[in-house]
Amino acid sequence: MDGRDLELGELLTAAESAPPGESVGVLAHDLRKRFGADRVSFLFVDLMEQRLLRLTAPADGDGPEAVEEPIDLQGTVYDAVLREQRQHVDADGEGGRRVISPVSNRGDCIGLLEVTLRSADDSVLGQISDAAHALAYIIVTDRRFTDLYHAGRRTTRTSLAAEIQHQLLPSASCCEAPQFTLAAGLVPADDIGGDTYDYTLDRDTLYLSITDAMGHDTESALLATLVTGALRGARRTGCDALSQANRAHEALLAHSRGLATGQLLCIRLDTGTCELVNAGHPWPLRLRSGAGEAEEVPLTVNLPFGVAAPFTYQLQELQLHPGDRLVLLTDGMQERGAAAVDLASLVYETRDMHPREAVRVLTAAVLSACRGNLNDDATVLILDWHGTGTSGFRPLSSTGR
């Protein structure tokens, strides 16, 4: 085996030279050349985070990578690696070793790299972790140019409304920075209910939004498109939460599309000061470090976007403290069958979990309470505020073993 360190520049150059759908093959060639790897696969999670799709590079290096039948995720070693973000090593059943490494970028769990090879010492395991980290950056770049990864995540037929709604969401449902960690999840109703969440980060501000367009199916999806477009357009010109709210309201009035509720937040990274607007939306939950329970944050609730009545949105201020967990949600997490779930207690019980795992627990509890059939979209966004230092930063690293 060639044990030289991963030459990242060479790998990235080779990946860029190959078609965007063959990056796994490029990485597989590199691992076979250096370590004699027998099989190299990339496994990515479907949209509902219940199954894995395996993309395997051909052993001879010729031909396209093949997507195999989905693998149920629940209770498998793959599930454990995704949750714990730690490399796993075991026997492959043929006298060799199987290495499974998380493929993550800034906290976003993209998938898993699975490699089988004859033997693997600590140096080799470390380099496979490095390769998985490099693969994350390659895939983030490549999926701008191919539908391979988007199409592969659909293990069931996707309706037009669901396709529209999914494209409104950020490409990553989780993000980490020294000051915060956030994660979000959306469980769609049987008849799409118009929920969206969004976030972006600039040099000094974190922008968050969670919205719920009224109606169902393509009607709500198109309304959500108008709201999201108005909010992003305003945000990208430097508007604060108040100006964003006014833009979204004016857009709905101008196009007579209907109503939408929303909660918009602008958080200063250097102070934790949050300016927000609540447009007819459920109050967030907040769990303070050391507190014995999660509590609702009482806010002034303005009218939803699109209401044809004379009123003014109110800009409110919320101060985040290091150790705070802030939970934003839509009414689908609280109403009808979902009302059986004690969200405040569940937020407290999951306080030590990474936000990504806490999101999974909360949405799974609501889905179970509704017996798998939601009448409205259920969306939750969890923000852990670490403060201006890094003491609370819990990175999802692809190098842990």
Alpha-carbon radius of gyration of the chain: 22
What residues does each domain of the chain span?
8-152, 160-385
pLDDT tier, 393 (very low <50, low <70, confident <90, very high otherwise): very low
CB-based burial, 29-60: b 16+ in 10 Å, e otherwise: bbbbebbebbbbbbbbbbbebebbbbbbbeee
Quote the percentage of the chain above a pLDDT of 90. Answer: 58
Residue 244: CB atoms within 10 A of its CB come to: 24
Report whether pLDDT(151) > 60.
Answer: yes
Selected residue with higher pLDDT from 116 and 1: 116
- Residue 244 or 21, more confident: 244
How confident is the model over 47-79, as pLDDT tens digits? 767 788 888 877 665 545 556 667 888 889 999
Token output for 26: 């490029």
Can you give the pLDDT at residue 168? 94
The 10s digit of each residue's pLDDT in 79-123 is 999 989 999 999 887 788 999 999 999 988 889 999 999 888 899
Note the pLDDT of residue 149. 75
Q: How confident is the model at residue 144 (pLDDT cuts 50, 70, 90)?
A: confident
The span from the CA of 277 to the CA of 262, in Å, is 8
Q: Is the pLDDT of residue 364 over 80?
A: yes
Q: What's the confidence (pLDDT) of residue 155? A: 57
- Per the CB < 8 A criterion, the answer to whether 6 and 126 are in contact is no
Q: Write down the pLDDT at residue 72.
A: 82
Percent of the chain residues topping a pLDDT of 70:
90
Question: Does the pLDDT value for residue 390 go beyond 60?
Answer: no
Class of domain 8-152: alpha beta
Please report the pLDDT score of residue 54 as a whole number.
Answer: 86
For residues 172 and 129, give the distance between their C-alpha atoms in angstroms, rounded to a whole number: 21
Q: How confident is the model at residue 25 (pLDDT cuts 50, 70, 90)?
A: confident
pLDDT value, residue 21? 78
> What are 175-196's pLDDT values in tens digits?
999 999 999 999 888 778 899 9
What pLDDT score was predicted for residue 23?
Answer: 81
- Looking up tokens 């059986």 gives 340
> 308: how many CB neighbours lie within 10 A of its CB?
10
- Over residues 251-266, mean pLDDT: 94
Q: Which residue has the higher pLDDT, 375 or 295?
A: 295
Find out whether 100 and 112 touch, Cβ atoms under 8 Å: yes
> Is the whole model's pTM more than 0.75, yes or no?
yes
Q: Nearest 5°: CA angle at 45, between 44 and 47?
A: 135
Only one residue has tokens 């009218």, namely: 303
Q: Average pLDDT over the chain, rounded to whole?
A: 88
Q: Looking up tokens 């609702």, which residue turns up?
A: 296
Q: Tell me the C-alpha to C-alpha distance, in Å, between residue 145 and each of 28, 52, 84, 136, 252.
A: 20, 22, 30, 15, 33
CATH superfamily, region 160-385: PPM-type phosphatase domain (3.60.40.10)
